[in-house]
């Protein structure tokens, strides 16, 4: 029903300084005038660091520091979290009983955990982490991960007991 048109030959193209009749549709680009970066639409999205900030806030409000008695501590911890620009936050537990001790930010080179709020060591090297936990928001509880390496899916951690008690200088007898 529709009439088919014959494709245009290179002689029928309008004259354009960047397109020669011999190259048909291949543009001739001069490198001296071209920008350093392409100006066309981007076909990819630049990677951005995934943040677990909302998940940690929910864990503090509904699981770790839930209830009226913990409201002042929870408000102080959330305020200190807001002042930080860290993308990956983790909760420090005293032991497997998931007793809150502090909120830490993952960052630096080499990667270390730096305390934002709470008690515990100021900096925790990743080698000293004892156990890793993932927060399950649907069940409002933490589950221990069998992994030994830090990743984006880790939301809490524990450290060995001997790190809780600072070494006191021994006195000579």
Where do the structural domains in the chain lie, given as residue ranges?
53-160
CATH architecture of 53-160: Roll (3.10)
Instruction: Determine the Cα–Cα distance for residues 142 and 41; give it in Å rounded to an integer.
Output: 43
Residue 144 bridge partners (DSSP): 133
Q: Can you give the pTM of this predicted structure?
A: 0.67
At residue 148, the pLDDT reads 80
110 has a pLDDT exceeding 60: yes
Closest of 93, 89, 64 to residue 163, by C-alpha: 93
53 has a pLDDT exceeding 60: yes
Residues 60/25, Cβ–Cβ less than 8 Å? no
Instruction: Determine the Cα–Cα distance for residues 36 and 159; give it in Å rounded to an integer.
Output: 49
Token pair in block for residue 153 = 């899916």
User: By percentage, how much of the chain surpasses pLDDT 90?
Assistant: 37
87 has a pLDDT exceeding 70: yes
161 has a pLDDT exceeding 60: yes
User: Which of 3-7, 28-32, 105-109 ranks highest by mean pLDDT?
Assistant: 105-109
């Amino acid at each position: 029903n529709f009439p088919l048109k014959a494709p245009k030959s290179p002689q029928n193209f309008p004259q354009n300084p960047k397109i020669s009749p011999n190259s048909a549709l291949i543009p001739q680009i001069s490198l001296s005038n071209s920008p350093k970066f392409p100006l066309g639409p981007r076909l990819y999205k630049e990677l951005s660091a995934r943040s677990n900030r909302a998940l940690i806030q929910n864990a503090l409000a509904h699981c770790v520091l839930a209830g009226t008695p913990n409201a002042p501590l929870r408000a102080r911890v959330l305020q200190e979290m807001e002042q930080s620009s860290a993308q990956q936050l983790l909760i420090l537990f005293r032991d497997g009983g998931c007793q809150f001790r502090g909120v830490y930010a993952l960052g630096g080179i080499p990667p270390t955990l730096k305390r934002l709020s709470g008690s515990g060591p100021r900096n925790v090297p990743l080698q000293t982490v004892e156990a890793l936990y993932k927060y399950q928001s649907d069940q409002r509880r933490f589950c221990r991960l069998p992994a030994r390496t830090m990743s984006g899916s880790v939301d809490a951690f524990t450290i060995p007991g001997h790190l809780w008690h600072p070494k006191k200088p021994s006195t000579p007898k």
